[in-house]
């Protein structure tokens, strides 16, 4: 079972037995957060997918600190409420709390930078390789099979069900066009998926968000 494999990796990365109870408590907290019923995309399936793809293609990424990438994946969406501005800040704070508790303070700057970068606002040239890998993994869904990509888009809509349809449609259109108009992936390996991602974006915009709706 994939979750058991992830748990084994989680424990192997932090082998100090004196932190065993902390590891167990955080592990339970992590998965209870991602299994929240209101999460239709930003859930445990998303995290498992990122980790699975990362592990399958580990050697295709540039040299990096795998511990930083792994814990950035686990914590980058641990706090998530659709449309709220505090998600990344709160996720960063929990990651910092965890890494301090397990005596991994040396990787906090890289992990927190990676988490905050999922706001997709910082210039990429200022980011670490671990951050660039996290961003590539987080956006791998954009280059998935189109039916899977459409399911992803529908699940995002479910997460924003409390938002007015016109506001959601206009906001979603803006986000997708922004991705379409810039380079999506960062590492040479993931750039091979760029054309697939842009093809998906063009299709979904034409099908579901062809124009800005009047408020």
Residue whose entry in the numeric block shows the structure tokens 């445990």: 44
- Cα distances (Å, whole numbers) of residue 161 to 38, 108, 151, 166: 10, 34, 15, 12
**pLDDT for 61-120, tens place per residue?**
999 999 999 999 999 999 999 999 999 999 999 999 999 999 999 999 999 999 999 998
In this predicted model, what pLDDT tens digit does every residue of 26-62 receive, in sequence order? 999 999 999 999 999 999 999 999 999 999 999 999 9
17 pLDDT band, cuts 50/70/90, is low
* DSSP 3-state of 67: helix
Three-state secondary structure call for residue 130: helix
Residue 13: pLDDT band by 50, 70, 90 thresholds?
confident
- The mean per-residue pLDDT over the stretch 199-205 comes to 98
């Amino acid at each position: 079972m994939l979750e058991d494999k992830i748990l084994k990796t989680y424990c192997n990365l932090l082998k100090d037995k004196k932190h065993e109870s902390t590891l167990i408590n955080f592990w339970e907290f992590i998965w209870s957060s991602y299994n929240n019923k209101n999460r239709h995309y930003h859930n445990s399936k998303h995290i498992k997918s990122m980790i699975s793809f990362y592990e399958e293609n580990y050697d295709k990424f540039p040299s990096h600190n795998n511990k930083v990438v792994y814990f950035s994946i686990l914590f980058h969406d641990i706090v998530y409420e659709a449309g709220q501005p505090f998600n990344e800040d709160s996720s960063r704070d929990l990651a910092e709390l965890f890494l301090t508790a397990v005596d991994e303070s040396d990787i906090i700057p890289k992990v927190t930078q990676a988490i905050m970068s999922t706001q997709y606002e910082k210039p990429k040239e200022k980011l670490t390789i671990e951050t660039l890998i996290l961003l590539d993994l987080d956006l791998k869904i954009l280059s998935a099979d189109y039916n899977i990509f459409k399911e992803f888009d529908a699940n995002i809509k479910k997460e924003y069900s409390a938002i007015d349809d016109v506001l959601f449609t206009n906001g979603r259109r803006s986000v997708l066009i922004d991705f379409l108009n810039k380079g999506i992936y960062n590492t040479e390996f993931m750039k091979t998926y760029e054309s697939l991602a842009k093809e998906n974006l063009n299709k979904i915009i034409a099908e579901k968000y062809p124009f800005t709706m009047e408020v």
